[in-house]
């Protein structure tokens, strides 16, 4: 088995380096990263520039099945909330085999698109009637199997979902598959912990949002998680929509992020997913907490959320990463493009996410998103450095848009100029090739099973 790679250009945590040799151990951990190394027969040779694999910090796998199916105006004004009603309807029909087929194809797509690990924010727990499956972990196990089969790294985040709105409003009927008590969540986590460990996955917890988890459930679940694993990642959706901010103000007198920071010890284990609507004080305080901002630019655009103020977050020292969330788009480069473009449009500036220490915007964004994504994942996937996993992407140096350019411009062209076609040649996870020539070996079979599952679902009354 190959345990080393030599590449003319490699994006290391500190920037681009020349003639780099990467060595890793049997577990896929980097044991040496050596710039200025001579190429020899003992190492595989990368045909193009090597960049770190991108952790995808936010995914609801099943939603890949409705991507493209809600792009029409169904009422006087469509919104996040009307989309959510359609999405719930779809979620009510899923069976375990369909979820597994959708997730497997999604993870294959992710690997082909430069994501080497994924944080799965998993909230469809029960059967269609809202009753726990005979094995309560049935749907979580389907996700674990899909990730294992595709060969993508996984952080599994079972979701606590208890109320239909702020102030403990009863959940709606469409939410019946999501709802569980805090005690049953803690039992599920205990059941899943050894299974995750056995496949190198990390287990965390996701209180869905402040509207879906009342303060008591939040407190008890966090205490239970702490007892199970005091360093486990905690993810929460927060301040995505302005209605959510208004409802939180009406309930508590505080904005969601301010409420969270005042009532819960938020720290570097936390990922604040979206965090779109913060005031200046919230930007400062949330960044100072050490939490990662979980940005999902294409989903946030698709759902009409609003625009995250990236310069405010960066100037407060905030960590950030990207996720594909609803999977309206599955492409790590395109999330970076959308994020940068939303900033350019809002500010009428260019290269907003770059700075004097790293003026190449695609390089700066890739490094930041890998670091933040790894922190949110709670896994050693923070880039090409000793002790981190050998998760990397080889760009396709022969792609017309990239050919003949210096490495930083190849990455810039991959992100900004590859016209939505992937300029990726190979993708490696934990030192093993998962996609080659831009293709995952399961591509064809997984795609066919996805199409069949979606057809079944659309024909289910
Ligand atoms: C989700 N999606 O968990 O999939 C949510 C909608 C809800 C986003 N926040 C579901 N983008 O809010 O209950
Ligand atoms: Zn989400």
Q: Which of 235, 239, 409 is nearest to 307 (CA)?
A: 239
Name which residue sits closest to atom 10 of ligand 1, judged by CA. 84
Q: Is 191 exposed, middle or buried (0-12, 13-18, 19+ CB in 10 A)?
A: middle
| Angle between helix 215-228 and 182-198 (nearest 10) | 30
What is the end-to-end Cα distance of the chain in Å, rounded? 49
Q: What is residue 436's DSSP assignment? A: B
List, as one string, the DSSP characters of 107-176: HHHHHHTTEEEEEEEE---S-TTSPPPSSTTHHHHHHHHHHHHHT-EEEEEEEE---SBTTTBPPPGGGT
**Are the C-beta atoms of residues 433 and 394 closer than 8 Å to each other?**
no
Report CA torsion sign: 443, 123, 263, 227: negative
Q: Supply the pLDDT for residue 421.
A: 67
Q: Say what the pLDDT of residue 1 is.
A: 80
Residue 342 · residue 297 · CB < 8 Å: yes
Q: Where are the beta strands (DSSP E) in 25-66?
A: 30-34, 44-45, 50-52, 54-59
The whole-angstrom separation of Cα 162 and Cα 219 is 13
Measured from the alpha carbon of residue 159, the closest ligand is: 1
From the alpha carbon of 159, which atom of ligand 1 is closest?
3
The yes-or-no answer on residue 267 being catalytic is no
Closest listed residue to residue 133, CA positions, set 182, 158, 96 = 96
CA of 60 to the centre of ligand 2 (A): 6
* Helical packing angle, 332-347 and 407-416, nearest 10°: 80
E-strand ranges in 172-261 read 202-203, 206-207, 234-238
pLDDT of residue 418: 83
- The span from the CA of 26 to the CA of 4, in Å, is 11
Ligand 1 binding pocket mutation candidate from 59, 60, 165 (most atoms within 8 A of CB): 60
* Cα–Cα nearest to 157, from 199, 197, 195, 123: 123
The 10 Å Cβ neighbour count of residue 76 is 6
Question: Is the CB–ligand 1 distance for residue 237 below 6 Å?
Answer: yes
CB 120 within 8 A of CB 379: no
Would the pTM count as exceeding 0.75? yes
Distance CA 353, CA 362 (A): 8
Question: Tell me, what's the pLDDT at 331?
Answer: 96
- Helix-strand-coil percent breakdown of the chain, rounded to 5? 40, 20, 40
Identify the structural domains of the chain with CATH numbers, from first to last: 4-52+383-444 (2.30.40.10), 54-377 (3.20.20.140)
Question: Which stretches in the chain have pLDDT values below 50?
Answer: none
In 222-263, DSSP assigns E strands to 234-238
Q: Quote the pLDDT of residue 235.
A: 99
Alpha-carbon torsion (168, 169, 170, 172), positive or negative = negative
> Looking at 23, 136, 325, 396, which residue is catalytic?
325
- Active-site residue 235, yes or no? no
Count of alpha carbons within 13 Å of 333, Cβ hemisphere only?
Answer: 23
Say how far residue 388 (Cα) sits from the centre of its chain. Answer: 18
């Amino acid at each position: 088995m190959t345990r080393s790679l030599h590449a003319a250009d490699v994006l290391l945590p500190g920037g681009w380096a020349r003639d780099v040799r990467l060595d890793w151990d049997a577990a896929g951990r980097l044991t040496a990263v050596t710039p200025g190394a001579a190429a020899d027969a003992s190492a595989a040779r990368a045909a193009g520039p090597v960049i770190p694999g991108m952790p995808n910090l936010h995914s609801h796998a099943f939603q890949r099945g409705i991507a493209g199916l809600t792009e029409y105006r169904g009422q006087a004004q469509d919104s996040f909330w009307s989309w959510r009603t359609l999405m719930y309807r779809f979620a009510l029909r899923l069976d375990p085999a369909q979820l597994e087929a959708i997730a497997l194809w999604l993870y294959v797509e992710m690997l082909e698109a430069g994501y080497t690990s994924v944080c799965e924010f998993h909230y469809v727990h029960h059967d269609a009637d809202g009753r726990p499956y005979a094995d309560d972990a049935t749907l979580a196990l389907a996700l674990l199997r899909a990730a294992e089969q595709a060969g993508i790294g996984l952080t599994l985040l079972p979701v606590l979902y208890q109320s239909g709105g702020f102030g403990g409003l009863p959940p709606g009927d469409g939410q019946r598959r999501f709802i569980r008590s805090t005690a049953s969540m803690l039992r599920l986590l205990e059941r899943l912990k050894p299974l995750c460990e056995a496949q190198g996955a990390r287990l965390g917890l996701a209180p869905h949002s402040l509207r879906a988890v009342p303060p008591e459930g939040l407190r008890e679940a966090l205490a239970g998680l702490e007892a199970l694993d005091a360093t486990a990642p905690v993810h929460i959706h927060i301040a995505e929509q302005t209605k959510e901010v208004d409802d939180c103000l009406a309930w508590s007198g505080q904005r969601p992020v301010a409420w969270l920071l005042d009532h819960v010890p938020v720290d570097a284990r936390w990922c604040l997913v979206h965090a779109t609507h913060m005031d200046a004080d919230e930007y400062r305080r949330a960044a100072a907490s050490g939490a990662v901002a979980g940005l999902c630019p294409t989903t946030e655009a698709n759902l009409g959320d609003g625009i995250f103020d990236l310069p405010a977050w960066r100037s407060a020292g905030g960590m950030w990463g990207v996720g594909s969330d609803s999977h309206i788009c599955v492409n790590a480069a395109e999330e970076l493009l959308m994020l940068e473009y939303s900033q350019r449009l809002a500010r009428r500036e260019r290269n907003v996410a770059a700075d004097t220490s790293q003026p190449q915007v695609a390089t700066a964004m890739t490094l930041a998103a890998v670091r933040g994504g790894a922190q949110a994942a709670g896994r050693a996937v923070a880039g090409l450095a000793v002790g981190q996993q050998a998760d990397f992407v080889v760009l396709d140096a022969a792609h017309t848009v990239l050919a003949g350019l210096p490495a930083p411009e190849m990455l810039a062209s991959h992100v900004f100029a590859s016209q939505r076609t992937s300029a990726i040649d190979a993708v490696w996870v934990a030192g093993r090739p998962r996609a080659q020539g831009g293709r995952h070996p399961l591509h064809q079979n997984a795609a066919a099973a996805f199409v069949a599952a979606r057809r079944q679902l659309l024909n289910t009354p």
